[in-house]
Amino acid sequence: MELLRLHLLNYRNHEVLTLEFCPGVNGISGPNGAGKTGILDAVHYLANCKSYFNGMDAPLMRHGSDFFTLRGIYTTGSKEEEIVIHVPAQGKKTIKRNGKAYERVMDHIGLLQTVMIAPNDIELVWGGSEERRRFIDLTLSQALREYLEELVQYKQGLDQRNALLKALKGKPSDPVLFEAIEHRMVPAGNKIYQLRKDFFTQFTPYFESAYERISNGMEHASLHYVSDLESKEMQELLDEHRAKDVVMERSTRGPHRDDVLFTLNGHPLKRYGSQGQIKSFVLALKAAQFNYFVQQKGQKPILLLDDIYEKIDEDRAQALMQLVSSGDFGQILITDTHAERVKQHVNAPGLKTRFFTLDRNGNMLT
């Protein structure tokens, strides 16, 4: 699957922009604020129906406009696919595939896969557990149709349950009302746990071998899925903690608290990892994500590398670029402030490349 053409309308700082990509490596350069990241984010948006960087749609609209539109022309084998996403300031976002609108936005997710590597990914290690859940959710929902369905189901139940717990203000309530809300959460919660567990069984070996390659086998890195559901199933958890939940005014157990423990030679990465090891760890997570998509979907995701030189040291970036040039990857979009740096690093014989330069207003120069 490759992105042939991308059209942006009022997306971030781009009023109108059209880019024609090559199937290999596409370098996008320009000064800070030119909107390089916005181009990668648009490609991410076309696959995931949301921004990689921003949970809300309104800040993505160009200042002063009341909508944005993204259009991508893809090729999957011999067939062309057109995806158009239209997001108005007021009203519902619509997603059309080859001119036909999806009934629900989520029906589109899973058709296209992207892997983004961006400077703020370091938050996967430093940030709270929600960062790591976001990574799991983003990966699984692009790969498995049913995962997103279960996640939505669980989230709806959880929101209702938490609203009820808040409204009760510590007072006990009608057990039937709890039962009515929880009966949707229970199967969804159990299923999410099962799918995440299966995911780590498959994903961890990809991750371990990717880390080994990146670090030249110096250390052993691993992932450990941590969940309340390891010891008890969902209904039991809810039953056991309901009285406490009423006092706390929120749901204290369930897959919404899941986490992943990152370890290096058996020790927690957060505490014992060096800066360099942490960077390698994050890269290995992304490489594993790539391999997981290839395995699950039988097609290479589009790799989006945002400003990798910003947070990664030159050596590691160069190693990454060599990896990128090796042909194991499919289509790649890279942004950098220096056009020459990318050109230098991406120069494998036979590799298709194309370079774009933006001026400070986001207009195309070449």
Q: Which residue in 56, 63, 103, 298 binds other proteins (CB under 8 A)?
A: 103
Q: Which is nearer to other proteins, 166 or 197 (CB)?
A: 166
Q: Which is nearer to other proteins, 130 or 149 (CB)?
A: 149
Q: Which is nearer to other proteins, 35 or 157 (CB)?
A: 157
Q: Which is nearer to other proteins, 167 or 218 (CB)?
A: 167
Q: Write out the DSSP string of 244-263.
A: HHHHHTS--SSGGG-EEEEE
Report the largest interatomic distance among the alpha carbons of the chain, rounded to a whole angstrom: 71
Q: Which residue in 20, 66, 80, 179 binds other proteins (CB under 8 A)?
A: 179
Q: Which residue in 16, 180, 218, 365 binds other proteins (CB under 8 A)?
A: 180
182-221 binders of other proteins (CB under 8 A): 183-184
Angle between helices 234-248 and 175-215 (to 10 degrees): 110
Angle between helices 145-168 and 175-215 (to 10 degrees): 130
- 286 touches 115 (CB < 8 A): yes
Count of chain residues binding other proteins (CB under 8 A): 22
Any idea what DSSP says for residue 99?
T
Q: How far is the CB of 130 from other proteins (least distance, A)?
A: 20
Of the candidates 185, 181, 182, 188, the one whose C-alpha atom is nearest the C-alpha of residue 150 is 188
**Residues sharing a CB contact under 8 Å with residue 15, sequence separation 6 or more, in sequence order:** 9, 62, 65, 362
Say whether residue 71 binds other proteins (CB under 8 A): no
Q: Region of 49 please: left (phi>0), alpha (psi -120 to 50) or beta.
A: left
Q: How many residues does the chain have?
A: 366
Q: Which residue in 3, 87, 151, 181 binds other proteins (CB under 8 A)?
A: 181
Identify which range of 30-38, 101-109, 347-355, 358-366 contacts other proteins by CB under 8 A: 101-109
Q: How far is the CB of 178 from other proteins (least distance, A)?
A: 10
| Helix-, strand-, coil-residue percentages of the chain, each rounded to 5 | 50, 25, 30
CA distance 26 to 145: 30
139-178 binders of other proteins (CB under 8 A): 145, 149, 153, 156-157, 159-161, 163-164, 167, 174, 176-177
Q: Which is nearer to other proteins, 153 or 296 (CB)?
A: 153
Residues that bind other proteins (CB under 8 A): 103-104, 107, 145, 149, 153, 156-157, 159-161, 163-164, 167, 174, 176-177, 179-181, 183-184
